[in-house]
Amino acid sequence: MRYEVGVCIATGWIVWFHGPFRCGSWSDEKIVQYGLNQILDWDELYIADGGYKSKGMVLNPDDAVSQEINDYMQICRTRHETINTLFKHFAIIGN
């Protein structure tokens, strides 16, 4: 199963959890179109990895922004990956 998890860039708290979705039939792009993109205001953005190519709402490694912003986005993505690792380590989602 797959889940969409959002983490606040200011606090590191989990602020969004959406799912479950079946693997294979739900891509990252499809999940975000039916989840996070539906609840954000038109002027809000989120930081994601290269798998998210949403129209105008996402900042990912392919976007041409300053080195300072790219470095900060990498910190945010790393924090999120740490949370994903903890989910797996403690079997939080499966149980």
For 41-73, what is each residue's pLDDT tens digit?
Answer: 988 888 888 777 666 788 877 776 788 888 998
Residue 18 domain flag: yes
- Segments in the chain forming alpha helices (H): 28-33, 36-39, 67-89
Residue 79 domain flag: yes
Give me the mean pLDDT over the 20-46 stretch: 88
Residue 53 domain flag: yes
Residue 94 domain flag: no
pLDDT exceeds cutoff 80 at 23: yes
Count the domains in the chain: 1
- Domain, as residue range, for 70: 2-89
pLDDT at 14: 94
Residue 70 domain flag: yes
User: Phi-psi bin for 20: left (phi > 0), alpha (psi -120 to 50), beta?
Assistant: beta
